[in-house]
């Protein structure tokens, strides 16, 4: 009987060790995935900013080529168009960042859920030691 208890305790202990290692690995994986998403989001936002600047530059050249002055009141048609372009661009960039922040939050949420499941497994394993 004593040998069975020792063997059972050893198996449960090994299982607990593997669960703990799995939890640590999940945490590292979640951090790496979140960092990659953050970097990707920054790249996408930067690319969109470049696109908006290029579009605004094209619009300016188009206005100038057609003889429309870009100076004057802020509410003139050319300035309103450029202002709208920049405003829409800023909104797009903000939305890109929000979307990636949400994805990062989801990665961490999944990691926390996995951690809680693993902790539950650990608790059940430890309960097996004492039954």
Under 8 Å between Cβ of 82 and 74:
no
For the chain, the structural domain boundaries read 30-129
Structural contact between residues 95 and 104, judged by C-beta atoms closer than 8 angstroms:
no
Nearest to 33 by CA among 81, 99, 103: 103
- Report the mean per-residue pLDDT for the chain: 81
Most confident of 10-14, 70-74, 81-85: 81-85
Measure the CA–CA gap between 47 and 50, rounded to whole angstroms.
Answer: 5
Supply 9's token pair: 């305790």
- For 20-53, write each residue's pLDDT tens digit: 666 667 788 889 999 999 999 999 999 999 999 9
Dihedral, 6, 9, 10, 13 alpha carbons, nearest 10: -160
Cα dihedral 85/90/92/94 (nearest 10): -170
Give 129 or 90, the one with higher predicted confidence: 90
For 101-115, the pLDDT digits (tens) are 999 999 999 988 888
In degrees, rounded to 5, the angle at the alpha carbon of residue 22 between the alpha carbons of residues 16 and 122 is: 30
Q: What is the pTM of this model?
A: 0.67
Neighbours of 87 (CB within 10 A): 11
Task: Count CA atoms closer than 13 A to 23's CA, side-chain side.
Answer: 16
């Amino acid at each position: 009987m004593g040998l069975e208890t020792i063997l059972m305790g050893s198996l449960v202990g090994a299982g607990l060790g593997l669960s703990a290692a799995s939890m640590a690995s999940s945490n590292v994986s979640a951090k790496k995935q979140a960092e990659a998403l953050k970097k990707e989001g920054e790249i996408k936002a930067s690319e969109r900013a470049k696109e908006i600047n290029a579009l605004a530059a094209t619009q300016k050249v188009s206005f100038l080529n057609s003889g429309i002055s870009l100076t004057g009141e802020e509410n003139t048609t050319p300035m309103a168009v450029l202002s709208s372009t920049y405003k829409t661009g800023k909104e797009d960039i903000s939305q890109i960042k929000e979307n990636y922040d949400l994805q990062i939050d989801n990665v961490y949420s999944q990691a926390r859920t996995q951690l809680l499941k693993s902790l539950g497994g650990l608790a059940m394993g430890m309960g097996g030691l004492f039954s």
